[in-house]
Amino acid sequence: MKIDEVCKFTGKEYDCARCDGHKEDWTNKGVSTIHMGHSVSGPIMRNSKKDWCDMAKYMTKTDGSRLTGEEVQIEFMRYHAQGWQTIPMKPCDRWCYRNGCQGHKKAAANANGG
């Protein structure tokens, strides 16, 4: 079994999101929230050079400098080679690179109604 076939929540082989780390309430009707993600394979299949350059406007390196369109394309190819199907659009501590955000329980409302 390859490492990308293992669920990071259970340490077992993926089982179509039917593991302990599955989304509790992806409908967002009050139990939890989820973070948005971006497809990895979609841009690889469809993006033109201009599209990669447009995506680069929103991406930075760890040192704060901007990526080029070619660097963004290379990163997406690297993600794809690792077996990732989705990437988070902002930091998420419950992110599964196959199934996306696994949900975050909302904090209970305080006594002051907020």
Contacts of 55 (CB under 8 A, 6+ apart): 43, 47, 69, 72
pLDDT tens digit sequence for 5-31: 676 656 666 655 545 445 555 555 555
* Count of domains forming the chain: 1
Is residue 44 assigned to a domain?
yes
- Which range of residues forms the domain containing residue 28? 3-105
pLDDT tens digit sequence for 93-112: 888 888 888 777 766 554 45
CA distance 85 to 100: 8
| pTM exceeding 0.85 | no
Specify whether the CB–CB gap between 43 and 55 falls below 8 A: yes
Is residue 111 assigned to a domain?
no
In DSSP terms, 52 is beta-bridged to: none
Specify whether the CB–CB gap between 69 and 49 falls below 8 A: yes
Is residue 56 assigned to a domain?
yes
